[in-house]
Chains A and B, each alone.
Chain A
Amino acid sequence: MTRVWDLAHGRSGDKGDVCNMGVIARSPEAWETLKEKVTAERVKAHFGDMIKGSVTRYELPNIRALNFVCRGALNGGGTLSLRSDHLGKVMYTWLLRMEIDDE
Chain B
Amino acid sequence: MKSVKLGTGLAFWGDSIRPAIEMIERADIQYMCCDHLAELTMSILNKQKSKNPNLGYTTDIIPFLRGVVVKARERGIKIISNAGGANPEACAREVVKLCQELGLYGTKVACVTGDDIMDRIDDILAQGVGLENTDTGQPLAEIRDKVTQANVYTGCEGIVEALEQGADIVICGRVTDAAVYLGPMRHELGWGAEDWDLLGAGTGIAHCVECGGQATGGLYSGGWQDMRNLPSLGYPVTTVFENGEAILSKTPQTGGGVTVGTVSEQLVYEVMDPANYLTADSIADVSQIKLEQIAPDQVKISNITGKPAPATLKVNMGYRAGFVGEAQFTYTWPDAVKKAKAGLEFLAERLKQVNFKSSEERVEYIGRNSMWGPELIPNPGDDETDLLEIVVRFAARCPTAEDSKKVFTESVPLYNNGPAGASGIGTRPPVKELYGIWPCLIPREFITQKMVITEVKQAEEVAA
> What is the interface of chain A, defined by CB distance below 8 A to chain B?
9-18, 20, 22-24, 26, 47-50, 56, 58-63, 65, 67, 69, 71, 75-80, 82-85, 90, 92-94, 96
Contacts and interface: CB of A to CB of B under 8 A. Distances in A.
Interface in B183-227: 214, 219-223
A78 B40 contact: yes
A22 B271 contact: yes
Nearest to A63: B264
A16 B221 contact: no
B436 A11 contact: no
A93 to B, nearest CB: 8
Interface string B262-296: 00111111111111000000000011111100000
Contact of B265 (A10, A15, A80): A10
Interface residues of B, number: 54
Interface stretch (B24-32, B118-126, B365-373, B380-388): B365-373
Contacts of B396: 82
B372 A16 contact: no
B146 to A, nearest CB: 13
B273 A58 contact: yes
B341 to A, nearest CB: 19
A13 B289 CA distance: 20
Contacts of B362: 75, 82-83
Max chain B Cβ within 10 angstroms of own Cβ: one of A11, A17, A61, A69: A11
Contacts of B220: 9
Interface in B407-464: 434-437, 439
Contacts of A71: 135
Contacts of A80: 321, 397, 434-436
A10 B40 CA distance: 24
Contacts of B289: 60, 62-63
A63 B260 contact: yes
Given A58-B275, A82-B360, A24 B264 contact: yes
Interface of B: 39-40, 43, 135, 214, 219-223, 260-261, 264-275, 286-291, 303, 318, 321, 324, 360-362, 364, 366, 370-373, 375-376, 393, 395-397, 434-437, 439
Contacts, number: 138
B303 A22 contact: no
A65 B371 contact: no
Given A69-B273, A80-B434, A82-B395, A20 B268 contact: yes
A16 B316 CA distance: 10
B439 A9 contact: no
A79 B272 contact: no
A75 B43 CA distance: 19
A52 to B, nearest CB: 10
Nearest to B322: A80
B40 A65 contact: no
Contact of A20 (B39, B270, B321): B270
Contacts of B437: 16, 77, 79
B264 A20 contact: no
